[in-house]
Structure 1
Amino acid sequence: MGTLTVRENLAFSAALRLPLTMNTEEKKERVEMVIRELDLAKVADSKVGTIFSRGISGGERKRTSIGLELITHPTVLFLDEPTTGLDASTANAVLMLLKRLSHQGKTVIFSIHQPRYSIFKLFDTLTLLAAGKLIYHGPADESLEYFKNLGFVHEPYDNPADFFLDIINGDSTAIELSQSSIDTLEIDRTSEVQQTIAEILTSKFYKCDYYKMMREDLDQLSLEVTKRSEVYKEIPYSTHFLHQLKWLSKRTFKNLIGNPQNSTAQLAIITGMAIIFGAVYAGVKNDMAGIQNRVGAFFFMTTSQCLNSITTVELFITEKRLFMHEYIGGYYRVSAYFFSKIIADMMPMRTLPGIIITSLNYFTIGFKPKVESFFIMMATLILVAYAASSLALAVATGQSVTSVANLLINICFMFMIVFSGLLVNLLTISPWLMWLQYLSILSTSATM
């Protein structure tokens, strides 16, 4: 997402989430409409940016994230703390945007922590949670009166959001309970020890009219959901597999081109290593020393392909959060994402090293002077890289920390190197360990 522009991100969402019955022009018009609606015209062609490269501002990034969801014209919009990391002015601008969307008939539901008063007064309905328990759900403009009836008096000029947090946290410096308020809550010193503030407020809320109205609404909604339960069994997709694969591959290629540092550095290192290999093993002869040198050349070429594939570990881990968000949002299937990574990232970055190493070393070192043998070695090195990358990707899918995934895949490759047959004669290994050679990617490639 970060290396693409705002317009490209919105176009990606439109391409995968809008039905194929809409033509390209209609989707472009939808994208432009969202850009105008969110006031993103000035930065429409600017990159969103990443943690390593500067892009649009935090407020513009939040609006872009909202725009990705508005592409489908949803009736309900869920947001998780849309003001986090924003300054007061930008946060207020984002909430004003959400307020305008609510006036257009959309239901906007979001979590927020300690908003300022100018934001709080925009709320229509307020839900307060304490220790995972519901202590209030009802009209926001009636919330102060509700807590006043419980004995909690809101002081003039005090931010209601801070006032509610003080109630939940039991902050006596901000809330002074008179004897009458204690009687209202029906608690004393002994029960305060046994019951938390959250439990007390929850029990009070369960007895009020707001709770009864909420239960009626939930029961009605539950009946409607039960009638349409078949709809929610699986995530619906607006486009077919090939369309998703096309757009995912296109985005991956753009990200690869937009961040050439990693790919360029990797290819430069491989080229440098290949030149060094060629210089070290150049012109081997058909004698005992030549056989030893050829085995060493096989070892370094195959091992370099495995070690080069370790970078695949970061391929999924760095995008795991984005993948989970887009998959749950119905952007694409898991299979489309997987094959797009193979086509647009793994294949170019694992194919070119094999071509470079073989082209620079095969005839320089002095392997069999036949064209078919040259291409057999090239294909073998490429397949080694594919197999090693697939193993690295499999390890990465089960890990969330890059360092742990790197450690695990390195351990796997070390065992494979030992049982490759290039460093030790496999016939001398204990019979009960011999089966491990069949798990080594390098063992099968050593016969090339």
Structure 2
Amino acid sequence: MSGSSDEGEGEGKAEIKVPMPPLGDAEIDTSPGVHLVWKDLCFGYLQPQSRFNCCKEEDDSVPKYKPILKELTGEIKPGEMIAVLGPSGAGKTSFLNVIARRVKNSKTKHITGSITINGQVASHKFFKKISGFVAQDDILMGSMTVWEALIFTATLTDAGKETKQQIEDRVRGLLESMGLMHVRDNFIGFVGKGSNMSGIARGLSGGERKRVSVCVELIHNPLLLFLDEPTSGLDSYAAKTVLNCLRGLSNQGRTVLCTIHQPSAEILKMFDKLLLLGSGSTVYFGPTNEAPQYFASIGHPLPKFCNPGDHYMTIIQTGGKEKIVSEEDIQEDSIVSLKDNITDHTALADAFLDSKYGKMCEAIEVRTMEEKKHLEKDCFGREVIVEEDDLEGERAPFLMQLKLLTKRAWDNVIREPLLFKTRIFQTIFISVLTGLIFLRIPYNLTGASDRISGGFFVALSPLFSSINGPTATFPPERYLLIC
């Protein structure tokens, strides 16, 4: 993978050449691909004070919602890789969660607009079946090796359709394509506080962990891939390596959409299109290589030797009203005042709507499929059409799930020396303490009562011990279960 990371520096995916072997024997379905369209997409949270009747609108009983996303429209075609860029609080993660169908309408969340796949309003189950989501924080079991983590995920989602050898071949091909074969037997490891409490001394690097997270989502061969800031916390080389892998997946026909934070000019060129958000509104959506010309046309040319991503962030954060500091200003010790910075993105959003790129977004049409088989409720509360086969989830049988989870729990225990020794000491201590409490009980009526109490205690002790285990295990593994 290190050899491929230095290639593909030009613009456009035709100039980026990343060797990506096929994913084992699994044939990649790129014939139709995924054409994702979102139209007039709005999202808002219920304001806390509006939960009380006195804080609702005077003329209407409808609660007030704080707008997060404001009438976003766009599309992603098969084989495209799109970056969502914007300052903190612009709505990048919210947009990714809504577009990936991870957020639904509720009492505290309000979503309007439409999301279609190949002209169809798909159900949540079908959407989950064809897509993968890589969170910003790597959700991995640190006590497992890379090989074990992928085999576990592949077996758990296989539903008994493949043999063990076929699953191993598929995982091996995936590791080769992502450049992870040299760490296949390495422990993933823990990060943060978990690394200090773990007996596993060394895990994977940040870039390797991110690629493993991508591999976990690629196990079921999704055609649509979402990533939340895949380069956060990585150095420039590791970030470029991860983006090279994503570029190769896109070249294979997958649709890739990811939020990104502070990209370098080299990384930004790897994306086909760029979506810039400011306060939940679209500031720009179009080809990445045409963004500098667009901003120059509205009075914000790209300065020399300036990172395009930083230039766009400056324009969005200041509402286009701050003077760009040039190299001459810095040499003259010029001080830039931020007092007059106004983060009003209405002008930038209106300028985009009046441009040719805004007209292209308005021209996007949402088509619905004519044939009806089943109706469900989507995240907008509307009836949507799904195929009958889409209602059946792919999962392993119950006994297979029980076997896999039991083995993973046992491996996690024995691979954590401190935890394993603590549980052994706890068992021995409780046993000795119980024996000392009920030692030398007399053989009379009082002793018989004590023996009944002792038996009751011995019978309940394993029950409470089994309850304490999941209580301590669930918090660190919570995200593995819900994501």
Fold shared per TM-score above 0.5: yes
Larger Rg: 1
Alignment partner, residue 223 of structure 2: 75
Task: Tell me the equivalent position of 1:28.
Answer: 168
Aligned to 2:424: 267
Q: Which moved more, 1:88-97 or 1:15-24?
A: 15-24
Report the residue type matching 1:11 in the other structure.
I
1:246 matched residue in structure 2: 403
Summarize the Cα distance change of 1:324–1:292 in structure 2 as closer, same or farther, 3 Å threshold.
same
Partner of 1:209: 356
Query: Is 1:319 aligned to 2:480, yes or no?
Result: no
CA distance in structure 1 between the partners assigned to 2:185 and 2:370 by the alignment:
43
Counterparts of 1:293 and 1:72, CA distance in 2: 58
* Inter-CA distance 68–226: structure 2 relative to 1 (3 Å threshold): farther
Q: 1:91 to 1:224 in 2, by over 3 A?
A: farther
User: In the alignment, is residue 6 of structure 1 matched against residue 146 of structure 2?
Assistant: yes
**Cα gap change, 1:15/1:296 in structure 2, threshold over 3 Å: closer, same or farther?**
closer
Distance across 1 between alignment mates of 2:423 and 2:400: 31
1:302-317 to 2 correspondences below 5 Å: 308=465, 309-317=467-475
Pick from 2, 10, 15 the counterpart of residue 155 of structure 2. Answer: 15
Matches of 2:169 and 2:143 in 1, distance apart?
23
Q: 1 CA distance for matches of 2:424 and 2:148? A: 28
Query: Equivalent residues in 2 for 1:161-172 (5 A)?
Result: 161-170=309-318
Alignment RMSD: 3.2
Query: Is it true that 1:106 corresponds to 2:246 in the alignment?
Result: no
Aligned residue for 1:261, secondary structure, equals helix
Measured in 2, the distance between the counterparts of 1:175 and 1:218 equals: 38
**C-alpha displacement of 1:253:** 2.7
For normalisation by structure 1, the TM-score amounts to 0.61
Q: Quote the offset at 1:157 in angstroms.
A: 0.9
> Would the aligned equivalents of 1:7 and 1:44 in 2 still touch at CA under 8 Å?
yes
**1: CA distance between counterparts of 2:470 and 2:171?**
33
Residues 1:198 and 2:356 aligned together: no
Partner AA of 1:15 in structure 2? T
Q: Distance in 2 between matches of 1:62 and 1:119?
A: 16
Instruction: Indicate the residue corresponding to 2:386 in structure 1.
Output: 230
Residue aligned with 1:137, SS: strand
**What's the TM-score once normalised by structure 2's chain length?**
0.57
Tell me what 2:113 maps to: none
Secondary structure at 2:411's aligned position in 1? helix
Partner residue in 1 for 2:270:
122
Identity of matched residues, %: 33
Please state if 1:150 is matched with 2:305.
Answer: no
Q: Is the 8 A contact 2:369 2:385 kept in 1?
A: no
Q: Unaligned stretches of 5+ in structure 1?
A: 177-191, 326-448
For residues 217 and 371 of structure 2, what CA distance do their matches in structure 1 show? Answer: 23
1:168 is matched by which residue type in structure 2?
Answer: I
The Cα offsets for residues 280-318 of structure 1, whole Å up to 9 and x where unpaired, read as 431111457646855875686578657643343232222
Q: 1:150, CA displacement in angstroms?
A: 1.4
Q: 5+ residue gaps in structure 2?
A: 1-140, 326-340, 374-383
Against the structure 1 CA distance between its residues 323 and 174, is the aligned structure 2 distance closer, same or farther, given a 3 Å change threshold?
A: farther
For residues 27 and 93 of structure 1, the distance between their equivalents in structure 2, rounded to whole angstroms, comes to: 26
> Shift in Å at residue 146 of structure 1?
1.2
Aligned pair in 2 of structure 1 residues 252, 266: CA closer, same or farther (>3 Å)?
closer
Which residue of 231, 237, 240 maps to 1:92?
A: 240
Q: Deviations over 1:323-357 (max 9, x none)?
A: 112xxxxxxxxxxxxxxxxxxxxxxxxxxxxxxxx
Give, as a single letter, the amino acid of the residue that structure 1 aligns with 2:344. Answer: I
Distance 1:304 1:237, change over 3 A: same
Could you tell me which amino acid in structure 1 is paired with residue 302 of structure 2? H
SS across alignment from 2:237: helix
Asked if structure 2 preserves the Cα contact closer than 8 Å seen for 1:2 and 1:48, the reply is yes
Contact 1:153 1:175 (8 Å CA) reproduced: no
Q: 8 Å contact 2:145–2:187 — kept in the other structure?
A: yes
Question: Which residue of structure 2 aligns with residue 175 of structure 1?
Answer: 324
Normalized per residue, the structure richer in helix is 1
Point out the structure with the larger strand share: 2
Specify the SS of the correspondent of 2:400: helix
Pair 1:300–1:214, CA change in 2 (3 A): same
1:59 Cα offset (Å): 0.9
The worse-fitting range, judged by mean Cα deviation, of 129-138 and 248-257 is: 248-257
The residue matched to 2:277 in structure 1 has which SS?
A: strand
Q: Could you tell me how far 1:164 is from its partner in structure 2? A: 0.9
Query: For the structure 1 residues 50 and 159, does the alpha-carbon distance in structure 2 shift closer, same or farther, using more than 3 Å as the test?
Result: same
SS of residue paired to 1:243: helix
Q: 182, 185, 206: which is aligned to 1:42?
A: 182
Structure 1 residue 160 corresponds to structure 2 residue 316: no
Structure 2 residue aligned with 1:131: 279
Greater relative contact order, per chain length (Cα 8 Å cut-off, separation 6+): 2
